[in-house]
């Protein structure tokens, strides 16, 4: 795996944890939303299991952010920041 990909995976793991903590949610609550076991969700956060695209999309929806933010392709946390220019 390339250095860039490894870094993006690390960023994603940190961001899904940070977004959960910022939302004051437990791993159990997020796991229930995703319809998976808490232990599996914990492995996603710790980088012990790859996070499927379907889960990344659901997390982006839950936290009202973009998939790009979660996977480290942008630092714009909120969707409104990305699309604000369209509505002005």
Alpha-carbon distance of 80 to 85, in angstroms, equals 9
Distances, alpha carbon 9 to alpha carbons 15, 51, 88, in Å:
10, 9, 34
Write out the residue range of the structural domain in which residue 10 sits.
3-87
Number of domains in the chain: 1
Task: Average the pLDDT over each of 2-6, 9-13, 79-83 and give the range with the smallest value.
Answer: 79-83
Contact 62, 16 (CB under 8 A): no
Dist. CA 15–CA 26, nearest whole Å: 15
Token code pair at residue 68: 């790009």
Q: Helix, strand, or coil here: 7? A: helix
Full-model pTM: 0.83
For 6-35, write each residue's pLDDT tens digit: 888 899 999 999 999 999 999 999 999 999
Q: What is the CATH number of the domain that holds 83?
A: 1.10.260.40
pLDDT of residue 81 exceeding 60, the answer is no
The predicted-structure confidence for 35-57, as pLDDT tens digits, reads as follows 999 999 999 999 999 999 999 99
């Amino acid at each position: 795996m390339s250095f860039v990909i490894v870094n993006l995976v690390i960023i994603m793991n940190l961001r899904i944890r940070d977004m959960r903590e910022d939302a004051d949610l437990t791993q159990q609550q997020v796991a229930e939303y995703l319809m998976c076991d808490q232990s599996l969700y914990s492995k996603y956060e710790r980088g012990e299991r790859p996070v499927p695209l379907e889960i990344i999309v659901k997390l982006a929806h839950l936290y009202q952010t973009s998939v790009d933010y979660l996977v480290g392709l942008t630092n714009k946390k909120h969707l409104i920041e990305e699309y604000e220019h369209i509505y002005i």
